[in-house]
Structure 1
């Protein structure tokens, strides 16, 4: 893998840390800025909305610039809004920085996905995607707990300063390592199509199916991930000190899952997706049933982290294969679809808890979302039973109509 890919992963690590770190900072922010905890919680929602809206929008805007220019503009903007966020005493300004930061994050990830996959052989998109998404998983393992620790020791502003400082070497490294290229440099434009032509190409049923499945699987992942802390303390019976351990276990599993998925997804994606999703469904059900048993819960959190991100990263790479005729916009729409799942899953899990179904209920919601993905994916594949579906996916032949 090219060295520049790992530099992109460093930037994604900084951005992933920013996206998830608020989970441990909300009470401190609410107290310091004199707002309620639910109001401070809107900072997370604002970031999610910014990611969903920003990914396709920023992908369209970035068509006018070279890859390096677009990546640097997005990353510098991300850095600057974190400086503003660290300095402000206004909650409204902080909320605005989260929206702008999410737009910059979404734009960076959209361009980074097409940049990463263009740096490797056409049949190695899965491995390239796994390197990039490794930054997100490392953020889950190290960045988020570190942000929470900084918040406890030096206050919530220190976490914002840390993200800004971490972005500085990424800016310098990308300016050095990523080729300047030419405007509109996401590769050749098939058939000379412009933005409207790419948007039409994104209506293909194979791509839409992949994005839908990705949203469902990612929704299941973040439905449970968001409520792991109360699950551990209220159902499993472990003390609050175990919460960082459980989050780290999930992050370690996700790191392993992205790595393994990246190595296997380019060759035989359909068997990997079918077997992985079936195992994912079984794992959510088993965790829901055995959540009161500490050893089982800890092991399954690790396993589910690996399966969730292994299947999820494979679906992202397959979306990029499916969007070969929209090289500039593919990353943006893949990012948006997965963030739709990331926003819907926690909402659905919270709805189940609010309905009085208990802290196990997000696990059952996760199982339901994965089961729905299996039904939709299986229904789409039935007419093509007997074909070598893995080969058809990689070659671009549509297994659904």
Structure 2
């Protein structure tokens, strides 16, 4: 594959991931409108968020297994069409029950599509660019958080909650056309289902997945409640918090891309450095937020590090997965969502106990556990790349 074709493939995958990523959190900002239109409470409407998350965690690996022997290009296009169908059902749902169906249908393609996109990205670049390729595709999610979700929520508030889902349906169809045009043809994998199960059952893979879940839970413990933390403890206005969250998202975008390049050079050092930095930053958050200048610095630093774990951890999974990476990567995608859910529960318990300021300490403990787990899973010696999916340098 030529460099230009590889770039076009990465661009199409990134754009498609942006669409899928926007859908995940979009409805969270539209719950009052959804509840009023479909005659349910806001709390009940919030179950649409839960249903999507469960669909990603449970449905992603299931879809990866059911489609493990299908040709990769056709499967990628099919998953994007499945997402479009779910978005269309959501946009036209006359009842809350059908909205839930639409959300679940969309979620079934989420983890499987992202896993396939990440694996495909590593196949269209030179072996030494694996980390950068993963980060490029994953940046679609960071841009979705930075721009897609707030713009979608703004559209929903002005034109009704169905409008953003209509736009997502159209964009997903456009993404399907792009993928059909630029994706290289790939034969169906020769691996069997038991090969996929054996990969996930490997101790290093299980530890890497656990590292993903625990590490991201540490970030979510603080980030889920960062708005009340900044208003109640730091004393920022709601407008200032919006600006800080925008800066946080921009930092996440830059941190993800930087981590991809660092992963290409030295994965071990990158993973340890990011988890060490996260642990230290989260530990300082409770003390930094009492003064506005240090609170700003903490938010910016946390933004840079929060999504920087994606490229090295997915690269680590690919390194240990060998020729059967699809289920393992899909499970790892679910682990990010599981970590986010666990972190929000832990942070919520602290907030309920009146310890909003101290969520960072709980996050630091979780991040430290993630750092400890990396010591068990990282290769101890430099391992030569076996294929395009194993291209990072694993230097200590």
| TM-score, normalization by structure 1 | 0.89
2:258 match: 260
> Residue 389 of structure 1 aligns to a residue in which SS?
coil
1:129/1:316 contact within 8 Å kept: yes
Instruction: Give a deviation string over 1:163-190, Cα, whole Å, max 9, x none.
Output: 2222122111001111233333xxxx4x
From 72, 93, 97, the counterpart of 1:92: 97
**1:371, 1:393 → 2: CA distance?**
29
**2:211, 2:243 → 1: CA distance?**
30
Instruction: Give a deviation string over 1:326-358, Cα, whole Å, max 9, x none.
Output: 13323212212222212211122112222x233
How far the C-alpha of 1:390 sits from its partner, in A, is 5.9
**1:312, 1:96 → 2: CA distance?**
29
1:250/1:306 contact within 8 Å kept: yes
Instruction: Give a deviation string over 1:109-139, Cα, whole Å, max 9, x none.
Output: 1211211111122343211110110000101
1:253/1:306 contact within 8 Å kept: yes
From 372, 379, 382, the counterpart of 1:391: 382
> Residue 340 of structure 1 aligns to a residue in which SS?
helix
Correspondence 1:377 to 2:374: yes
Matches within 5 A, 1:274-313: 274-313=272-311
Deviates more, 1:107-116 or 1:227-236: 227-236
2:171 match: 166
Correspondence 1:152 to 2:150: no
2:316 match: 318
2:57 match: 52
How far the C-alpha of 1:394 sits from its partner, in A, is 6.3
Gaps of 5+ in 1: none
**2:229, 2:46 → 1: CA distance?**
19
From 108, 114, 121, the counterpart of 2:113: 108
Correspondence 1:135 to 2:140: yes
2:355 match: 358
How far the C-alpha of 1:5 sits from its partner, in A, is 1.0
| TM-score, normalization by structure 2 | 0.91
1:12 match: 17
How far the C-alpha of 1:213 sits from its partner, in A, is 0.9
1:217/1:312 contact within 8 Å kept: no
**1:283, 1:237 → 2: CA distance?**
20
**2:381, 2:41 → 1: CA distance?**
51
Matches within 5 A, 1:222-261: 222-261=220-259
**2:113, 2:174 → 1: CA distance?**
16
Instruction: Give a deviation string over 1:207-260, Cα, whole Å, max 9, x none.
Output: 122111111111122232222222222222222223432221121111111110
How far the C-alpha of 1:10 sits from its partner, in A, is 0.3
Gaps of 5+ in 2: 1-5
How far the C-alpha of 1:95 sits from its partner, in A, is 1.4
Correspondence 1:40 to 2:32: no
Alignment RMSD:
2.2
The change in CA–CA distance for 1:296 and 1:161 in structure 2 (over 3 A counts) is: farther
How far the C-alpha of 1:298 sits from its partner, in A, is 2.3
Correspondence 1:82 to 2:99: no
Correspondence 1:118 to 2:123: yes
**1:148, 1:198 → 2: CA distance?**
39
**1:89, 1:236 → 2: CA distance?**
43
> Residue 182 of structure 1 aligns to a residue in which SS?
coil
> Residue 308 of structure 2 aligns to a residue in which SS?
helix
2:198 match: 200
> Residue 201 of structure 2 aligns to a residue in which SS?
coil
How far the C-alpha of 1:71 sits from its partner, in A, is 1.0
